[in-house]
Amino acid sequence: MIANIKTVGVVGAGQMGCGIAHVVALAGFDVLLHDANAERLPAVLAEIERNLGRQVRRGTISDSDASAAMDRIQTTGDLRSLAPVDLVIESALEDEEVKRGIFAALCYIVRPDCVIATNTSSIAITRLGAAVQKPERFVGIHFMNPVPMMALVEVIPGVATAADTVRTATAFVTRLGKTPAVAQDFPAFMVNRILAPMLNEAIYALHEGVGTVEAIDKAMRLGANHPMGPLELADFIGLDICLSNLQVLYESLADPKYRPCPLLVKYVEAGWLGAKSGRGFYDYSTDPPTPLPAA
């Protein structure tokens, strides 16, 4: 097991993978960012540079910090390029078969002592680890969204994960300036197990006409002191991700309290996924976004 991690691979350059590469490079690690669609990688680098620039303008990092972080990030469309990394973090689609395929391929690419981690928000670590040779080196490292701003990272061992792997993952998270919290391998872990049904209940409240989008979000911001309303937060996370988390909980625990609201299912089927698609519970073609009536 590699105790002194220097080079980190990130598989998947979506919103989460982009954020993970950002914070890992800012913490002084060399990063190799992979995406199967190599053509989009220049745009991903530009997005990371913009996000670092926002931190510079807020005064949380210096220009030299941002420049050094960008210099540490390299991109690739070839998974085989990850052969020399000390730790690889998968952040691909929240699809079990896709993830298992990535892990099976990585086992033939990375060194035997490389730590293999997943950023899954809900899929069982033990089950994913079954696709890995030497599953004792496999662990969940679940970042919160947006990665640069959120302090917590869940570290989740599977039943075969070695104690050394958990210690290595926890130490790595700490070096990022984040706070690790070790969760057991239960469906959706800690944060999403609590958050997903709260968001679902807000969607049910909208679906049943208890309140409008604007009223529900205002009620939770002012009545529960939440920084974002639950429908605004669901849009930010992605309604497809919210649905996926609820489906995992519902199927794994067979508890009706996790049954996805039909309105959420309808929006995902329509391609209304929230901020990333331009429409969800809000219309993102306006500034600020406009709350919409339930469809």
As annotated, the active-site residues are 121, 142, 154, 192
Contacts of 73 (CB under 8 A, 6+ apart): 21, 25, 31, 33, 45, 48
Q: State how far the alpha carbon of 154 is from the alpha carbons of 82, 117, 183, 190, 252, in Å.
A: 24, 12, 6, 8, 20
Quick one: CA torsion of 17, 284, 269, 195, rounded to 10 degrees?
Answer: 60
Contact 135, 158 (CB under 8 A): yes
Exposure of 206 in the CB half-sphere (CA atoms within 13 A): 31
Whole-number CA gyration radius for the chain: 19
CA distance 24 to 193: 26
Contact 195, 150 (CB under 8 A): no
